[in-house]
Chain A
Amino acid sequence: MIKRIGVVGAIIGLVAVSGMNFGVHAADLEADSRQFIQKVADQAIESLTSNDASKSERVSRFRTLFKESFAVKSIGKFVLGRYWRGASEDEKTEYLALFEDLMVISYVDRFSNYAGEALSLKDARKENETNVTVFSEIKRPGGANPIRVNWRVGTNGTIYKILDVVVEGTSMSTTLRSDFSSIVRQKNGKVAGLIEELKKKTASLEAETQN
């Protein structure tokens, strides 16, 4: 009987301890997410606002920062939506690579424009067990009203990544998803068609970068 109490006691103890840990973990989630965004912002300012770098240098720095801070593959999968399941492994790989290229080239200028401006972090709100929304504002020069930017941050327990950027209510991933799914629909549901369009778009954007 003592043994049984011992075992039950141990189980109760374990449950209680894990419950406590969970509580502590939840509070850390918001603070850690906020800290993570601050770190990304600091790195962005450091690597993107030095004027001596050439355009291609800035693009490669941005690519590194982008891959480190964004959940590129998970976002890419979400953006493809219901067409992800039907795509072959090769198509998935090619699509994700092109998706990353498009993101890097189309966002590098936007980030360079904003990286120099003051990003002020507000509070963070837990959405579920793994995701947090970090609220922030970008103050624009000239006295115009600040832009509200929300960062959807997620974690798998070890790494933190940005899942989405919402600027004044418009979500980057939702917009991309509508854009891409419209293209796939026009190509009769073929992901290969989307890959063609991605290749064309990244090629034309890269050509612009060279000039």
Chain B
Amino acid sequence: MSLFYIKITQKNTPHVWSFRVGVNRIVTVIQQYLAMTNTMLKPFSSAIVLILCALLIVSGCANMPDPADREAVADYMQVNDPLEPTNRNVFSINQGIDKGLLKPAAEFYRDMVPATARLGISNALNNLRTPVILLNNLLQGDLDRSVATLARFLVNSTVGMLGIADVAAELGVPPHSEDFGQTLAVWGIPSGPYLMLPFFGPSNPRDTVGLVVDVLTDPLNMWMSNTDRTELALSRAGVNVISQRELNLELLNEVEKSSLDFYAAIRSLYRQRRAHEISNGVVLDQADVDENIDFPKVSDIDG
């Protein structure tokens, strides 16, 4: 069973835009790396699958606290990570992939591609996400944001040269993110326990379903698979991953450096960020978020 199969296509495009050549080069490098890994791993691929399954079965579920200790039980429920041992293992694997492949690729991308070009690329990629964003705006019944999304797409694709320049933001219509996971949350579906996905990172059952639906409802993906251009879809995904990773280089470095338990810090940050996205940035008073927590007040000890 092959885990990855990617056709290597050498794009010999004329040197019209330097950053486009740069992007092609990065994509080619990634494809070659993956192809190389594929060739090396092919004989071991079934073994790898078996090992992963074994890891999942062996690590299993977190130890439930003593039911008599009500505070510990409440804590356990609030943390909502019954699969913690498995999640931690997957997290280590993801860290390995990150340190070995993604982070160096993102740093290389940062070194080779100038800032304005990188901004252009991320703007263009955001523009390509418009259909998924618009769909989820509509599914959530959010007409204001639907109109904003449409306006952004029209302005940025034309005046903004296929999305490279975020003209709409300068005109006062900033970007926002939407995905099916957020839509499910708005529809009242609870998130479920914390889930660390291989490669994709922190998630939960609801957001995982959202991720799958997002991939399936992306018209660009649909067109590419219909016209036998799957390597283009993977290239786009690859560039997206590298672009996102580059944007988060400092943040993730800082979190790793300053946290005692990097896994727990990421879990907390992921959940807070999702809550922020789902509520569309509405800042709730902390008391509304969780009445059980006694939020700090300034007392005389702080003088």
Contacts and interface: CB of A to CB of B under 8 A. Distances in A.
A163 to B, nearest CB: 5
Given A106-B258, A179-B259, A75 B296 contact: yes
Nearest to A161: B298
A55 to B, nearest CB: 15
Interface string A155-194: 1100111011010111101110111111101100100001
Interface in A118-165: 127-128, 130-131, 133, 135, 142-145, 148, 150, 152, 154-156, 159-161, 163-164
Given A145-B175, A169-B281, A174-B268, A154 B298 contact: yes
Nearest to B255: A175
B297 A175 contact: no
Given A82-B71, A175-B265, A154 B297 contact: yes
Interface residues of A, number: 59
The secondary structure that dominates the B interface is: helix
Contact of A182 (B261, B294, B301): B261
Contacts of B295: 78, 131, 163
Interface residues of B, number: 44
Interface stretch (A23-31, A45-53, A66-74): A66-74
B302 A74 contact: yes
Interface string B253-269: 01001111101110111
B300 interface: yes
A155 B259 contact: no
A201 interface: yes
Query: Shortest 9 CB-CB distances between A and B: which pairs?
Result: A169-B276, A106-B258, A182-B264, A178-B268, A154-B298, A71-B302, A78-B296, A74-B296, A170-B272
Given A71-B299, A160-B298, A185-B75, 17 more contacts: A71-B298, A107-B258, A133-B283, A150-B283, A163-B295, A163-B296, A168-B273, A169-B276, A169-B277, A170-B273, A170-B276, A175-B269, A175-B272, A179-B259, A179-B260, A182-B263, A205-B257
